[in-house]
Structure 1
């Protein structure tokens, strides 16, 4: 009676599981024999039928285990790819940021020289002694000090050496027209050097003290990135939203909106 009951339970499991979802052929390794045995489960002795059912159930369990292992491997690979994608996205943003800095600095220099030449010609024709209102300083030592610091970044790529140069410039010329640019460059160098607290101070000064500077949007973007590194999602969103609201036409506003879409 006990044996028959065991057989009935095994047959029930197979009818609802193994027969409904047969084990993969590659996992059974004996598909022809097994299928023939399943086609006539009542043939053979009771022990043979039980042995056949046990093999079917075991093969099914092994197949499910291998499928689960393959699924785990795929999930791990997807996670790794996601991490690589995020890293590449961040590196691309950094590269684009450096290119914008370079183009802005070139535009500033070209514009300053053109305006300076126009001012000099106007002064000669009118014989007036007016002070130029452009950002390019009439103090040659100030210009040389700023250009020296910038050239260390753009030409010589001496990033470590450029940090004290910008610090000395800001100490010697705190009211310079180059001050917002110098603070931003210094913040960028410190950011790349992983001196995040110092970098944050200089970006904050750009935003707080030079509201009309074209460096404000980029400084806001950097403050958002710093907040993200500090795992301060609310602060990051606040900086990004301020950037998209107050400087919607800036190139950095697009990057800020992308971060908002990801974080919110």
Structure 2
């Protein structure tokens, strides 16, 4: 503002000295008056400029105040969002841990249930070259009956094997049960029953791996009953149908003894 005042004074002085020579005849009081007027104008300009500056500053402050409040509100919202994100992250981590624990518990429970019910499920069995499914009780009863045969408890074995056939008529064990039933009846000296059992076994199982043994056992029963003719026929059938088997070799020896 001081520079502006000096410039205005200098300009006024320059104007005065630029007038024709007759301007120098002004009286001193007129020159002073002109200077005073000029100073008043400069002061008025300074006051007006100052007032405009103050108004502008007030306007800027009024406009900046809402912006400052908005910035404060925004910072508060940002802090709140950060806190919420942290809370959600912690909750998410807790959920992940809970889910992992739940999955582990479900796996443990599933394994426990499977272990509990597995003994009740059908089991795959391979017997005499054949594969089939049996239930746990079915298998247990069969093995118990065969155990009686092997221990020589033939009377109990016959009852157990007959009971098995009645309870499981369509079992995959049926052929094996009939074979061992015939042997138990033979061991019990129920030769007629054993003959009937072995004949039923042979007639329905020509390709069974135990059929040669069944024919040999059939002939032994017939020999015990002194029915040598039937025995020779059974031995001949064995030798012709299953040559090369151990049962066929034994049949040849028995046949030679009968003659």
TM-score, with structure 1 as normaliser? 0.47
- The two structures have a TM-score, normalised by structure 2, of 0.47
Q: Highest Rg: 1 or 2?
A: 2
